[in-house]
Every structure is written in structure tokens, then in C-alpha cells.
């Protein structure tokens, strides 16, 4: 099957051809660095990484750009609360983000442009939009995009302009100064809540809106027209809808040719999110003893357009699957010397072709993994009959390398080399808290502590000499 990807805008899978043969230019909406990213966010970045990897395996060179949103309401408010400068505050989380990317074996983009360093480009684009009649200044000095001036608004998300007007009027009463409730801010005039965060520009004193940053930075680094734009499904509306409106009206060019969005990581059927409080950061999970490779496997092994439920069971399942792959790889060492086996050569070719055609079909990773496990089964049974030889190893290794390039989890990652750290003082304190709870006949609390430790892979054992513990995974 030739390469095809689903296009959110056209609502169907379509063959993929980059604008310039052999070269793909891709923009990924990146993090707002107001806190540590959670693994739901990383689903979006692992997806973008898998897409890039598959394009590379398919022979394209990929120029990947991901923005860092280092100015918005949250970063401003939180930096003020901590009495730190905006830059100082966001830099800490930007560094943490890069650390996490590396741990998850997410390949580095060519560039991570920061919003605060591209205000001049945003101002230029806003001026262009004003000149072309797509933007206006409101009474409060802020500048808004006039949605009505772009009749194609809503094509990406499938929302109709008239429906938006009715649906959003009530909740938007606070934006008295806009001409139309659907209009969105390109430039926010300074107000006291912004403190010392502002830019003095031709547009006045203020700061850019969120949407304009991606329009300005994507075209600066990839040109006004490029191949792929990605994000999570929550970016479709309004963020990407607004990006399209700004870019197309500002430059006249088509902007991104293909829009690809990954579905949510859920917790008990709700989107994992900061606001719901149902989130785990990568750090949380690593502290609990899970490996970055297991987390990557969990995030990457479900098709990006399917919702994925996050559970500890899922992570343990990922561990088992990886163990199986590692055991298989280790077994190659025991293949006896001999001529290459025709059957193994054929099985490898078949697995490679099935994997390729599954990934070409909109990154159908579940089918691709089925090809991997099927190969494992076939070769294990041939090896059991002594039909696999050391001469078959090179071909297997070649395929494994290719699959590792595509998936990023076929080989152990850096953190697996380190011993998992167990906080013994913490466990001891928990054992004492549980003992106290039991003395007070608070069985529910005692059980809660035991279960919480079990979740972290620590099993308590009550014996005549007191309570001891052991690591169960
Ligand atoms: P934010 O930092 O909130 O702008 O989010 C960064 C990226 O994470 C965006 O592309 C979101 O669409 C994505 N995202 C946020 N929550 C989830 C989730 N639960 N599952 C998948 N992607 C998510
Ligand atoms: Zn964006």
C-alpha cells in the first residue's frame, strides 16, 4: 500500500505526497510551559514523533518544528504567584520538557521556537491582517480577527459560522469590546494583570494572542505553505481553525496541506488534563518504577486516532510485551551455526511487508505490531526445531533496527540501564502510618496505604517480627 494519512479537514484518508519531492516540512503544536507536561500531552508528541519516524523510514527527509508557548495567561499568572520573571519561570519547565522528550526517545525537532522570541514576526502578520481588512482594533486597544471576513472559517472543525454565533454568545459576555462574539484576539492590549509582561510595538503596548504565534512561527521556519500540521484533537477548535484563518488571510497562501490530530489519552473515560487533576507526569510514573520505554510503548502502540485509556494495568502489559521482544532478541545469540534458512528469510520478508503496508495505512501501528509478534512466534517455533541459524541473525538485526527507527521502543532506552530507585524512607514512613491506622482500627486507611504501595510495585508482608516489604516488579 502506498503512503496515506487521514486528513482532519477532508475527513478521509488520502495519499500523501509532500510539496517538494523527498522533503517533508512539518509543524507540531508544542507545550505551554507553565508546568510539567503530563503523559496525555506526551501522547501528542509521541504521535508526532512516530509520524516523523515513519516518514524517515519511508525515505523522506523531515524538517520538524515545534513551538514552545512561553507566554499566555497561565505562565504569566503562575510566574507572578512565584514572584519570578516570566522567562525564569518558563525556562525551568522548558528544560524539563526537553528532558522528558529525551527520556521518551522522542527525536529532537530541528528547532523549538519560543513565542517570546518571535513577537516581531507576529506583529508583522497582525499588521498584514489589518491592512487586508481581516482585523480591527477594539475600544480596549486589543486587536481582533474578524471571523466574518473569512467565509471558510469552520471548514477544519466542521463548525458552521452561524452555529458558533448562537452557541457562544452567552459565555462570551465578558468580551464586550469585540464587534462579534466569534472574533478572537490577535493582540491583547496590556492590562494591570499582565504586570511587567508586555512588548512595546507598532501595535501598542501588549502581548500576542496564542493562535497568532503558531501562524507566525510556522511560516517563518517552514514557509507560508508546508506539508503537515499536527496537534491533539482539542487543538482543532478553536486553535487550528484560527491559525488557518490568520495564515490564509495574512499571506494568501494555502498554509498546511495536511492536518493530523491525535486522540485523547483518557483516565476513566475522561480526558487526562491538568484541570481535572487526573494526570500523571512522566516523573510521577518513573518514580513509581515504570520505565520510559514502557510508557512510550503504551502511548505508541494504540492507533493515534483511537482514544486510549491510561491504566497501570496498561503499563504492566507494556512491560510484558517488551520483555517478550527482548527475550526474543536475546534468543538469537543461541542460534546454532549453519546456512541461512529459506523459511526464516521468507518469514522476515513477509513480516517486513506487512509492517510497511500497515504503517503506510495511516500509521496503523496495531497491525504493524501484529506483524512483529507473528514473526516472533514463527521464528520461535522454527528455532525450537533448530531451524534458525546464526546466519539468519544479520537479516533479523537489520529488520529490528528498521522497526526500532519506526517505533522507538524495540531497544532498551537510556533509563533502563539505571537501577530503579526505591525510596526506602518513604516506604518505612508508610508502614508506620499503616500500623498507626490499624491501632486506631481504621482498616480502610490501612488498606489504602497497602494498596497504594502495591500500585507502586511494593508488597507489604505482615509477619511475627513486624511488617517487611519487597519489590514485586
Ligand atoms: P497544552 O500544553 O495544553 O497546549 O497541550 C499540549 C498538547 O497536548 C496539545 O497538542 C494537546 O492537544 C495535547 N493534549 C493535551 N491533553 C491531552 C490528552 N489527554 N491526550 C492527548 N493529547 C493531549
Ligand atoms: Zn499551535
Residues 255-279 have pLDDT tens digits of 999 999 999 999 999 999 999 999 9
Average pLDDT, the chain: 93
319-375 pLDDT per residue, tens: 999 999 999 999 999 999 999 999 999 999 999 999 999 999 999 999 999 999 999
pLDDT category at 425 given cuts 50, 70, 90 is confident
Instruction: Give Dmax over CA atoms of the chain in angstroms.
Output: 83
Range with the poorest average pLDDT among 14-23, 166-175, 219-228, 284-293: 166-175
Q: Which ligand is nearest to the CA of 29?
A: 2
**Could you tell me where the beta strands, DSSP code E, fall in 67-221?**
135-137, 143-145, 184-189, 199-201, 204-208
- Checking if the pLDDT of 236 tops 80, the result is yes
289 lines ligand 1 (CB under 6 A): no
42 lines ligand 1 (CB under 6 A): no
pLDDT category at 471 given cuts 50, 70, 90 is confident
Q: Which ligand is nearest to the CA of 27?
A: 2
Q: Which ligand is nearest to the CA of 304?
A: 1
pLDDT category at 313 given cuts 50, 70, 90 is very high
pLDDT category at 144 given cuts 50, 70, 90 is very high
Q: What are phi and psi of 113, to 5 degrees?
A: -65, 140
Angstrom distances, CA of residue 216 to CA of 69, 198, 271, 350: 13, 18, 29, 45
C-alpha cell at 96: 524539563
- Checking if the pLDDT of 166 tops 90, the result is no
pLDDT at 168: 53
Rounded average pLDDT over 198-222: 97
C-alpha cell at 378: 514463527
Range with the poorest average pLDDT among 44-53, 244-253, 313-322, 331-340: 331-340
- Checking if the pLDDT of 452 tops 90, the result is no
Q: Which residues of 300-313 are buried (b: 16+ CB within 10 A; e: fewer)?
A: bbbbbbeebebeee
Distance from the alpha carbon of residue 239 to the mean position of ligand 2, in angstroms:
7
Contact present, 70 and 89 (Cβ < 8 Å):
no
C-alpha cell at 441: 482500627
- Checking if the pLDDT of 164 tops 90, the result is no
Task: Please choose, from the candidates 179, 154, 182, 149, the residue with its C-alpha nearest in 3D space to the C-alpha of residue 167.
Answer: 182
41 lines ligand 1 (CB under 6 A): yes
Distance from the alpha carbon of residue 467 to the mean position of ligand 2, in angstroms:
52
Q: Which ligand is nearest to the CA of 241?
A: 2
- Checking if the pLDDT of 185 tops 50, the result is yes
CA Rg value for the chain: 26
pLDDT at 414: 73
* Residue with the three cell numbers 463548525: 159
Cα dihedral sign, 410-414-419-423: negative
Rounded average pLDDT over 52-72: 98
Of 41, 42, 300, best ligand 1 pocket probe by most atoms within 8 Å of the beta carbon: 41
pLDDT at 172: 45
Distance from the alpha carbon of residue 40 to the mean position of ligand 1, in angstroms:
6
pLDDT at 242: 98
Contact present, 294 and 473 (Cβ < 8 Å):
no
pLDDT at 456: 74
**To 5 degrees, how large is the angle CA 290–CA 292–CA 296?**
115
* Ligand 1 atom index nearest CA of 44: 22
234 lines ligand 1 (CB under 6 A): yes
pLDDT category at 454 given cuts 50, 70, 90 is confident
C-alpha cell at 14: 488520502
271 lines ligand 1 (CB under 6 A): yes
pLDDT more than 90, % of the chain = 85
C-alpha cell at 346: 521468507
β partners of residue 115: none
72 lines ligand 1 (CB under 6 A): no
Whole-angstrom distance, CA of residue 152 vs CA of residue 148: 9
Q: Which residues of 323-359 are buried (b: 16+ CB within 10 A; e: fewer)?
A: eebeebbeebeebeeeeebeebeebbeebbebbbebb
Cα dihedral sign, 17-18-19-21: negative
- Output the residue whose Cα is nearest ligand 1's atom 6: 31
- Checking if the pLDDT of 176 tops 90, the result is no
178 lines ligand 1 (CB under 6 A): no
Ordered alpha helix ranges (H), 332-389:
342-360, 365-384
Of 29, 34, 44, best ligand 1 pocket probe by most atoms within 8 Å of the beta carbon: 44
Whole-angstrom distance, CA of residue 89 vs CA of residue 410: 36
33 lines ligand 1 (CB under 6 A): no
Rounded average pLDDT over 292-318: 98
389-415 pLDDT per residue, tens: 999 999 999 999 999 999 999 999 976
Of 48, 232, 263, best ligand 1 pocket probe by most atoms within 8 Å of the beta carbon: 232
pLDDT more than 70, % of the chain = 96
pLDDT category at 472 given cuts 50, 70, 90 is low
71-103 pLDDT per residue, tens: 999 999 999 999 999 999 999 999 999 999 999
pLDDT at 115: 98
Distance from the alpha carbon of residue 243 to the mean position of ligand 2, in angstroms:
8
32 lines ligand 1 (CB under 6 A): yes
230 lines ligand 1 (CB under 6 A): no
pLDDT at 237: 96
- Checking if the pLDDT of 169 tops 60, the result is no
Q: What are phi and psi of 68, to 5 degrees?
A: -115, 115
pLDDT at 473: 52
343 lines ligand 1 (CB under 6 A): no
Distance from the alpha carbon of residue 351 to the mean position of ligand 2, in angstroms:
37
Rounded average pLDDT over 450-463: 83
C-alpha cell at 348: 522476515
Q: Which residues contact 304 (CB under 8 A, 6 or more apart)?
A: 43, 47, 50, 260, 262, 263, 363, 365
Whole-angstrom distance, CA of residue 265 vs CA of residue 274: 13
- Output the residue whose Cα is nearest ligand 1's atom 20: 264
pLDDT category at 463 given cuts 50, 70, 90 is confident
- Output the residue whose Cα is nearest ligand 1's atom 17: 40
Task: Please choose, from the candidates 340, 354, 348, the residue with its C-alpha nearest in 3D space to the C-alpha of residue 399.
Answer: 348
Amino acid at each position: 500500500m502506498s503512503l496515506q494519512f487521514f486528513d482532519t479537514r477532508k475527513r478521509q484518508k488520502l495519499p500523501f505526497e509532500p510539496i517538494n519531492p523527498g522533503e517533508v516540512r512539518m509543524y507540531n503544536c508544542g507545550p505551554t510551559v507553565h508546568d510539567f507536561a503530563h503523559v496525555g500531552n506526551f501522547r501528542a508528541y509521541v504521535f508526532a514523533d512516530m509520524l516523523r519516524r515513519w516518514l524517515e523510514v519511508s525515505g523522506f527527509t523531515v524538517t520538524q518544528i515545534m513551538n514552545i508557548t512561553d507566554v499566555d495567561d497561565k505562565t504569566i499568572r503562575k510566574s507572578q504567584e512565584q514572584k519570578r520573571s516570566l522567562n525564569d519561570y518558563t525556562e525551568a519547565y522548558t528544560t524539563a520538557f526537553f528532558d522528558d522528550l529525551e527520556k521518551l526517545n522522542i527525536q529532537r525537532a530541528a528547532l523549538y521556537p519560543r513565542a517570546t522570541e518571535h513577537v516581531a514576526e507576529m506583529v508583522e502578520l497582525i499588521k498584514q491582517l489589518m491592512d487586508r481588512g481581516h482585523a480591527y482594533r477594539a475600544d480596549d486597544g486589543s486587536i481582533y480577527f474578524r471571523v466574518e471576513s473569512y467565509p471558510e472559517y469552520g471548514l477544519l472543525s466542521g463548525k458552521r459560522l452561524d452555529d458558533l454565533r448562537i452557541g457562544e454568545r452567552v459565555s462570551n459576555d465578558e468580551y464586550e469590546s469585540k464587534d462579534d462574539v466569534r472574533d478572537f484576539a490577535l493582540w491583547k492590549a496590556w492590562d494591570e494583570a499582565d504586570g511587567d509582561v508586555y512588548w512595546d510595538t507598532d501595535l501598542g503596548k501588549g502581548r500576542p494572542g496564542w493562535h497568532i504565534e503558531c501562524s507566525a512561527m510556522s511560516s517563518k521556519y517552514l514557509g507560508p505553505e508546508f506539508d503537515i500540521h499536527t496537534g491533539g484533537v482539542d487543538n482543532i477548535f478553536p486553535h487550528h481553525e484560527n491559525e488557518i484563518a490568520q495564515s490564509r488571510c495574512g499571506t494568501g497562501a494555502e498554509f498546511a496541506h495536511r492536518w493530523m490530530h491525535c486522540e485523547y489519552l483518557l483516565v476513566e473515560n475522561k480526558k487526562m488534563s491538568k484541570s481535572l487533576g487526573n494526570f500523571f507526569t512522566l516523573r510521577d510514573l518513573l518514580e513509581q518504577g515504570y520505565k520510559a520505554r514502557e510508557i512510550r510503548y503504551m502511548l505508541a502502540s494504540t492507533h493515534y486516532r483511537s482514544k486510549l485509556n491510561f491504566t497501570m494495568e496498561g503499563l504492566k502489559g507494556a512491560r510484558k510485551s517488551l520483555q517478550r521482544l527482548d527475550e526474543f532478541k536475546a534468543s538469537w545469540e543461541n542460534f546454532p551455526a549453519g546456512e541461512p534458512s529459506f523459511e526464516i528469510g521468507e518469514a522476515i520478508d513477509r513480516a517486513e511487508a506487512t509492517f510497511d503496508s500497515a504503517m503506510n495505512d495511516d500509521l496503523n501501528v496495531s497491525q504493524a505490531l501484529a506483524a512483529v509478534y507473528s514473526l516472533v512466534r514463527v521464528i520461535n517455533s522454527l528455532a525450537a526445531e533448530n531451524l534458525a541459524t546464526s546466519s539468519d541473525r544479520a537479516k533479523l538485526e537489520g529488520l529490528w533496527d528498521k522497526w526500532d527507527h519506526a517505533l522507538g521502543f524495540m531497544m532498551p532506552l537510556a533509563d533502563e540501564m539505571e537501577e530503579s530507585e526505591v525510596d526506602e524512607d518513604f516506604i518505612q514512613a508508610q508502614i508506620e502510618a499503616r500500623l498507626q491506622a490499624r491501632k486506631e482500627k481504621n482498616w480502610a486507611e490501612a488498606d489504602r496505604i497497602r494498596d497504594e504501595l502495591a500500585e507502586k510495585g511494593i508488597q507489604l508482608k505482615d509477619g511475627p517480627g513486624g511488617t517487611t516489604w519487597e519489590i514485586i516488579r
